[in-house]
Structure 1
Amino acid sequence: MSSGNPGVPGPEPRRGLGALLGLTTLGAILPGSGLLLSGRRWLGGLMLSAFVLSVVGAAAFVYVKGPTEVALFLGVRRNLLLVLVMAGIVALVLLAASLVHTAALNWPSRPQTAKRALAGVFTSVLVLGVLAPAAPAMQYVMIHRDTVSSIFSHGDVRRGAGAATPIGSGKDAWRNSPRVNVMLIGSDAYPGRPGIRTDSMMVASIDTVTGDTVLFGIPRNLENVPLGPGNPLSQVYPKGYDCGDECLLNEVWNEGDKHKDLFPGDPMPGLTATRLALSEILGLGIDYAVVIDIRGFSALVDAMGGVDITVKERIPIGGKVKNGQIVPGSINGWIEPGPQHMDGYTAMWFARSRATTDDFNRMGRQRCMVGAIVRQVDPATMLERYPELAKVARDHVYTDVPPEHLPAWAELVSRIQNGKIRSLPFTNKIVKVTDPDYDHIHEVVQNAISPHPTEGVPAPTGSTPRSTPTPRPSSSPSPGEPAQGLVDVKNAC
């Protein structure tokens, strides 16, 4: 009934719990819709429109570029990530405020005490339910941003002549760079051991159009290492790093550090010396470097949850060799033949043990390990374990890829995923480490990176004419021996 006074409004309609529950839940699913249906049309319509436009825009972006490329696009843009995190925080605060406001507009009328208490609990839980999942997501983004900033902060290292081919801008940043070559170094640096020995050396040569990649494995014990006129160490070793079995390739890094006065202004003379030496060995300009230490590799495998490999021969854990004999008591255990799920420690010894084999067998096992990791990378697992992986990367991985080159690399990574990855270790079937024929090595390299390479085991130096470096047909490896020659990395074992 009317109050009888035309200027006095009647009593407000009685509000129950149902409207609050329904409209606040709807507002959590479609931000702004709860306000819109509660009479706040301008504010609710603005929030709902902004939400719909954001979702449609993001969906269109993912549809056009694909999920992987979007992840790579965002992952390498540190400033954009920071902007997105800040925008996400603002959006979440506005969403929480809109839910509280929607609840207030539909709050149960007095004296419904129990329903009002239930409304307060429901609204609080709903707001927390919206905010809680966003917190770890934003934490992941900031962890990733910090990791990118830490790893890609060494772009001022000298690359030497013939390296760092110009990278353009726009849709195809690699249009002026048909190939890019990346040096991958595994060092045995750890507390208590002086200097750095580069016991694992690979160069990845990537076709920037197709993404096809060849991994060249270089023996640590190569002698007569050519330095080239651009290497400052040539002032000390004008005829190359040549003094017998005391001058092996894996000591070039230490030589660079020892003669750092020849590298004025260079923060990492050992890295530069090694880069230039590998460039002369392969006849390829090396554009970038990635370095990981032994502890980092072990931690990486653990962070991945381990790796599965079928072991072909018994491999010792530990082991020291003196005068051609294994030192008694130096072997701490064995990796037995057969399928194995390895943790980081076991994987490290599988990849570096050579007490009962040799460097060439070890190179083959390292190639097996690369292939196994490539096969077993699972995006869902990697996302779940990302904080651990990021910590490993920050603590143990170094690269001189400049931050401004990361968008171009994001584009290239997607091509590599769709390309073919082959591997070619320079074993004793291809090169004689005590007297290497580097011209022959250059021929083998050029064949491997050609559009139509001949797969298999390249003929040893001197067994074919210089003008015909075609590999001979691949032979089956002996029991326990990893695959030889140029093969798909997934079939390396």
Structure 2
Amino acid sequence: MTALGAVLPGSGLLLSGRRIIGGLLLFSFVALVVGAAAFIYVKGPTAAALYLGVRPNLLTALVVAGVVGLVVLAASVIHTAVVNWPSRPQTGKRVLATLFTTLLVVGLIAPAAPAVQYVMIHRDLVGTLFTDSHGRGTEGASPIGSGEDAWRDVPRLNVMLIGSDAYPGRPGIRTDSMIVASIDTRSGDSVLFGVPRNLQNVPLGPSNPLSQIYPEGYNCGRKCLMNEVWNEGDTHKDLFPGDPMPGMTATRLALSEVLGLGIDYGVVIDIQGFSALVDAMGGVDVNVRERIPIGGKVENGRIVPGSINGWIEAGPQHLNGYQAMWFSRSRATTDDFDRMARQRCMVGALVNQVNPGTMLDRYPELAKVAKDHVYTDVPPQHLGAWAELVSRMQQGKIRSLPFTDKIVKVGNPDYDRIRDVVQNAISPQPTEGTPAPSTPTSTSSRTPAEVPSTPTSTSSPSSTGPKQGLVNVKDAC
């Protein structure tokens, strides 16, 4: 009866003659299980978890209620044991009953400790990472609604993803990895546009305060590259009054002009954070197409002797955080475009290995990385809408298109062509036999640029060359 009462709360008391209290406990337990099952069935497991995850106060209330419920359950188990207690002089049975009941109670209450720990970690992360004090830093952000379809008036959402080279001992921030994720909020399909760090003649646009200093765009030769826009914003922060992140705002507005996309949110992670993230995920499996140096300093076109500290060998490799960082940013023996392709490969590899069970087990480490190394301007009131969007993205496709030298000349970029390529990449895919749509963003009458894609013929690309064009991010390696 005691064991039955632990598995099906109230049943042991009910069968032991305590009908009122046993029936009440059993009814409450069944109602709770049915309600939870209905909630998960209607929303789906992932959406249900996200719904709670972005509502830390509700999650905390449920955990408190759960702890109280466990205490009540433990008390009912003890009461069931007392009701069915062995009579004297069966001392041995009493000892066994006491031990058995104690183990049952401990087994019921023990899981509460890690649950409470996870919730407190999660509350701290959400409260630190998502805060209104960050400020948006953009004009004309998409109006997100509320309720069941918060994205009803926002057909497409664009998010800037920045990897910075900030670390102790190096002044300033250079945005060595710049990706804009454009998400179809209906289907969840996404395209990741990789922007070269060394783009020149960067258009700023009238809404960018830096245009007061550079009215013709960020154009001063090889010193004015796309990855220096952040530092320009920080240097001229007086042009961004009240903005806590002028560098981020300047970069966002510049990328918006480059791609012809209004950017709604920004997310930044630094080098150490990326390395720690990969370690927290247990490393990453990558197919390395060519030998990559760890370290390496180039001066006057030559690698400085002794500056390379090791190598990542070609072939399938399991990389730790440090190795993954160098795989993603090394260019001593290659170039910026090859590095962009490897960054795309790294994104695909990480997406491929995300397993909810494994990630939950590693959540404390992942949360610490996010808290210490990630910055975003997503406000807390938008998290509910984001939970809905992430559910859709789980069902959609994630494709990637880096603007390599096959598409753009960084020294003299054709920004109209870049914007045309972007629009064609995010346009709805045509059905068989239907011409591909074209939506140029410029006012020129020329034919929009075709989206480059990886050849689909039987002749495979070079075993060492990175894939080019628009491809599924899971196949980027």
TM range (shorter): over 0.9
68, 75, 84: which one pairs with 2:53? 75
227, 233, 250: which one pairs with 1:273? 250
Equivalent in the alignment of 2:174: 197
Question: Does the Cα contact within 8 Å between 1:474 and 1:485 map onto a contact in 2?
Answer: yes
Partner letter of residue 292 of structure 2?
I
Shift of 1:480: 1.6
2:124 counterpart of 1:146:
yes
Question: Does the Cα contact within 8 Å between 1:318 and 1:349 map onto a contact in 2?
Answer: yes
Question: Could you say which structure has the larger radius of gyration?
Answer: 1
Q: Find the residue that maps to 2:5 and give its secondary structure.
A: helix
33, 36, 40: which one pairs with 2:14? 36
CA distance in 1, matches of 2:15, 2:461: 73
Question: Does the Cα contact within 8 Å between 2:130 and 2:379 map onto a contact in 1?
Answer: yes
> What are the residue-to-residue correspondences of 1:401-412 with 2, within 5 Å?
401-412=378-389
256, 260, 265: which one pairs with 1:288? 265
112, 116, 121: which one pairs with 2:94? 116
CA distance in 2, matches of 1:110, 1:46: 31
2:73 counterpart of 1:89:
no
CA distance in 1, matches of 2:385, 2:368: 24
136, 148, 165: which one pairs with 2:142? 165
CA distance in 2, matches of 1:351, 1:422: 18
29, 34, 41: which one pairs with 1:51? 29
Deviating more after overlay: 58-67 vs 45-54: 58-67
Question: Does the Cα contact within 8 Å between 1:215 and 1:422 map onto a contact in 2?
Answer: yes
Shift of 1:36: 2.0
Are residues 282 and 106 of structure 1, via their aligned partners in 2, closer, same or farther at CA, if it must alter by over 3 Å? same
CA distance in 2, matches of 1:421, 1:314: 27
- Structure 2 residues without counterparts, runs of 5 or longer: 436-443
Equivalent in the alignment of 1:358: 335
- Structure 1 residues without counterparts, runs of 5 or longer: 1-22, 456-463
Question: Does the Cα contact within 8 Å between 2:178 and 2:197 map onto a contact in 1?
Answer: yes
Q: TM-score, normalised by structure 2?
A: 0.93
Question: Does the Cα contact within 8 Å between 2:417 and 2:448 map onto a contact in 1?
Answer: no
CA distance in 1, matches of 2:90, 2:172: 76
Equivalent in the alignment of 1:451: 428
Partner letter of residue 398 of structure 2?
I
CA distance in 2, matches of 1:471, 1:109: 83
CA distance in 2, matches of 1:147, 1:49: 37
Partner letter of residue 292 of structure 1?
I
Q: Deviations over 1:17-48 (max 9, x none)?
A: xxxxxx21111111112222333222221111
- Give the number of aligned pairs: 463
Question: Does the Cα contact within 8 Å between 1:477 and 1:484 map onto a contact in 2?
Answer: no
Question: Does the Cα contact within 8 Å between 1:151 and 1:398 map onto a contact in 2?
Answer: yes
Partner letter of residue 68 of structure 1?
T
Shift of 1:282: 0.6
130, 135, 140: which one pairs with 2:113? 135
Shift of 1:473: 6.5
Q: Find the residue that maps to 2:197 and give its secondary structure.
A: coil
Equivalent in the alignment of 1:481: 465
Q: Deviations over 1:326-355 (max 9, x none)?
A: 111100011111111111111111000000
> What are the residue-to-residue correspondences of 1:322-471 with 2, within 5 Å?
322-452=299-429, 466-471=446-451
Q: TM-score, normalised by structure 1?
A: 0.90
Q: Find the residue that maps to 1:199 and give its secondary structure.
A: strand
Q: Deviations over 1:265-297 (max 9, x none)?
A: 111111111111111111100001111111111
CA distance in 1, matches of 2:30, 2:258: 57
Equivalent in the alignment of 2:104: 126
Question: Does the Cα contact within 8 Å between 2:286 and 2:317 map onto a contact in 1?
Answer: yes
Q: Find the residue that maps to 1:423 and give its secondary structure.
A: strand
CA distance in 2, matches of 1:490, 1:124: 50
Q: Find the residue that maps to 2:309 and give its secondary structure.
A: strand
Partner letter of residue 339 of structure 1?
P
Same amino acid, percent of matched pairs: 75
Question: Does the Cα contact within 8 Å between 2:134 and 2:377 map onto a contact in 1?
Answer: yes
CA distance in 2, matches of 1:211, 1:427: 26
Deviating more after overlay: 48-57 vs 61-70: 61-70
CA distance in 2, matches of 1:208, 1:241: 33
Shift of 1:69: 1.3
CA distance in 1, matches of 2:396, 2:211: 38
CA distance in 2, matches of 1:261, 1:116: 78
Shift of 1:412: 0.9
Question: Does the Cα contact within 8 Å between 2:63 and 2:115 map onto a contact in 1?
Answer: no
Partner letter of residue 375 of structure 2?
Y
Partner letter of residue 132 of structure 1?
A
